[in-house]
C-alpha cells in the first residue's frame, strides 16, 4: 500500500499526523489510515471502501479517501 501524508487528519489515540492509503480488495479499494510507528502509536484504522465503478481514476479514489479522514473524529 502506498501511503500518503494526510494534510490534517490526526490519530484519535495519540494525535500524531496520519497517513492514508488504498488497499486493493475485490472490486474496489479498502481505505486505511495508518498512524506511523516512527512517530505515532502504529495503529491502523479502516474507514470504509471505494468501488472501482464509483470513481473515474485512482487519483479520484485517493481524493475521496482523503475526505474520509474526517470520519475518524
Ligand atoms: Zn497514533
- 5-59 pLDDT, tens digit per residue, is 999 999 999 999 999 999 999 999 999 999 999 989 999 999 999 999 999 999 9
Under DSSP, the state recorded for 45 is E
Residue 30 Cα to ligand 1 midpoint, Å, equals: 20
Domain count of the fold of the chain: 1
Domain region containing 15 = 4-72
Instruction: Write down the pLDDT at residue 2.
Output: 73
> Does the pLDDT at position 66 exceed 80?
yes
Compute, in angstroms, the gap from residue 61 CA to the centroid of ligand 1: 24
Distance 13 CA to ligand 1 centre (A): 5
Q: Quick one: DSSP state of residue 16?
A: P
pLDDT at residue 71 in the model: 81
Beta strands in 1-72 (DSSP E): 4-10, 17-25, 28-34, 44-51
The predicted pLDDT at position 43 comes to: 96
CA trace torsion 65, 67, 72, 73 (10° rounding): 180
Asked if pLDDT for residue 70 goes beyond 90, the answer is: no
pLDDT of residue 42: 97
Q: Are 72 and 9 contacting, i.e. CB atoms less than 8 angstroms apart? A: yes
Centre of ligand 1 to C-alpha 54, Å, is 30
56 CA distance to ligand 1 middle (Å): 32
Amino acid at each position: 500500500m502506498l501511503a500518503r501524508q494526510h494534510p490534517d487528519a490526526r490519530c484519535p489515540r495519540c494525535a500524531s499526523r496520519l497517513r492514508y492509503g488504498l488497499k486493493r480488495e475485490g472490486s474496489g479499494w479498502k481505505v486505511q489510515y495508518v498512524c506511523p510507528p516512527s512517530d505515532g502509536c502504529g495503529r491502523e484504522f479502516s474507514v470504509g471502501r471505494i468501488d472501482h465503478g464509483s470513481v473515474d481514476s485512482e487519483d479520484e479514489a485517493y481524493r475521496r479517501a482523503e475526505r474520509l479522514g474526517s470520519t475518524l473524529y
